[in-house]
Amino acid sequence: MASMDISSILQGGYQHPVSRSWQGRRALTKSMFMYPIFITDDPNASVLIPSLPGQHRWGVNKLVEFLGPLVKKGLSSVILFGVPLNCVKASPPYFAVTDIPLTSYGLQDGRGSPADDENGPVIQAIKVIRANFPNLYIACDVCLCEYTDHGHCGYLNEDGTIHTEPSVQRIAQVSVNYAKAGAHCVAPSDMMDGRIKAIKRGLIDAGFGNKVTLMSYSAKFASSLYGPFRDAAGSAPSFGDRKCYQLPPTAKGLARRAILRDVGEGADIIMVKPALPYLDIIADAAQLAPDHPLACYQVSGEFAMIHAGANAGVYELKTMAFESVESMVRAGATLILTYFTPDFLEWLS
Ligand code: PBG
Ligand code: ZN
């Protein structure tokens, strides 16, 4: 060792667990975790989702007993996804239906009516959670794919392409209705051009400009990691794919432009999704939007993959779960949406 240069020696700086704990710029805290929850329209449902280990579709009547223990452990935020299973689909053809009036709950149509129906799962869940857990922060995913008859994230033209203008107006309307029901945050995941501006305008005009956070899924890639989610939410498109609105996995430049655009259009939080295969995009977002909170979504397929690897003996679940989220924080994320949230509340206690 005597022959080694001083500049070669690093190990003296991290030989102890405590000195290792100082190597991160930021430590994980419980409030960094936002828990995605699937709410279905059978009020008494508690149905295990086979492709998402340990995760359920919940009915509104089950939310208090499910969330109570998590809130006690330090759960501070949730993001809600509605899963309409008791709806019938309007019959094809599937093209844009801009003139269907709001009906009583139960019809999946071209405008995604169940999304913001007073009797639909999301609005009901917001009210139940607000009433029972006054300190829990409620974000709502805003999209139409779970609620349209065709399963796409916006209105369609007759040729099956997205009709952007009415899609964006409708997405803004759903956002405002979630705000009216008591959501603290709306998070559009549709990737339609111009929706951040339209939602922000809608929130301001409805009196929520200073009350509701707008979290944009800014850089959302057309990923193969959404499969378990689409099972869980029944939101796979009935034809085609989402490549005309979600970003190509190669598209670093488009992701950067989308992040800057959404900052300019009034987003309060920027999100990158999925997370682990897109750490470079998280790092780019941290540099492009340094004055915004930065979220990333460890999506259903990432969660399932970590479980599958652990089951196959590739690694230990907890160690790998920590390694995955620590990489996201290292890349610059300040907030992580993950199905591991209940585990981290336990592990960080
Ligand atoms: C709906 C939506 C999806 C996810 C969040 N919102 C799926 C998709 O775009 O097909 C994925 C979440 C996950 O996989 O955990 N627009
Ligand atoms: Zn969608």
Q: Is the confidence at residue 120, as pLDDT, over 80? A: yes
Burial class (CB in 10 A: 0-12, 13-18, 19+), 281: buried
Does residue 299 line the site of ligand 1, with CB under 6 A?
Answer: yes
Residue 196, both tokens: 């951040």
> What is the CA(4)–ligand 1 centre distance, in A?
52
**From the annotation, which residues make up the binding site?**
143, 145, 153, 230, 242, 300, 339
Residues in a beta bridge with 139: 79, 185
Name the residue type at position 194. G
User: What does the pLDDT look like over 288-347, one tens digit per residue?
Assistant: 999 999 999 999 999 999 999 999 999 999 999 999 999 999 999 999 999 999 999 999
Is 273 considered catalytic here?
yes
Contact call for residues 163 and 154 (beta carbons, < 8 A)? yes
* pLDDT at site 106: 84
Does residue 247 line the site of ligand 1, with CB under 6 A?
Answer: no
**Is 0.90 surpassed by the pTM of this model?**
yes
* pLDDT at site 18: 93
Residue at token pair 């996995």:
249
User: What does the pLDDT look like over 146-187, one tens digit per residue?
Assistant: 999 999 999 999 888 999 999 999 999 999 999 999 999 999
Q: Which ligand 1 atom minimizes the distance to the CA of 81?
A: 6
User: What does the pLDDT look like over 202-249, one tens digit per residue?
Assistant: 999 999 999 999 999 999 999 999 999 998 888 888 889 998 999 999
Contact call for residues 196 and 188 (beta carbons, < 8 A)? yes
Contact call for residues 144 and 117 (beta carbons, < 8 A)? no
Residue predicted with more confidence, 280 or 231: 280
Q: Which ligand 1 atom minimizes the distance to the CA of 301?
A: 14
Among 220, 243, 252, 318, the one annotated catalytic: 220
Residue predicted with more confidence, 110 or 289: 289
Compute the mean pLDDT over every residue in the chain, rounded to the nearest whole number.
Answer: 93
Q: Which ligand 1 atom minimizes the distance to the CA of 229?
A: 14
- The predicted complex's ipTM stands at 0.96
Does residue 328 line the site of ligand 1, with CB under 6 A?
Answer: no
User: What φ, ψ does residue 70 adopt, rounded to 5°?
Assistant: -70, -40
Report whether the peptide linkage leading into residue 274 is cis, meaning its omega lies within 30 degrees of zero: yes
Closest residue to atom 10 of ligand 1, CA basis: 226
* pLDDT at site 104: 66
Does residue 300 line the site of ligand 1, with CB under 6 A?
Answer: yes
User: What φ, ψ does residue 269 adopt, rounded to 5°?
Assistant: -135, 140
Q: Is the confidence at residue 94, as pLDDT, over 60? A: no
Q: Is the confidence at residue 95, as pLDDT, over 50? A: no
Residues in a beta bridge with 35: 78
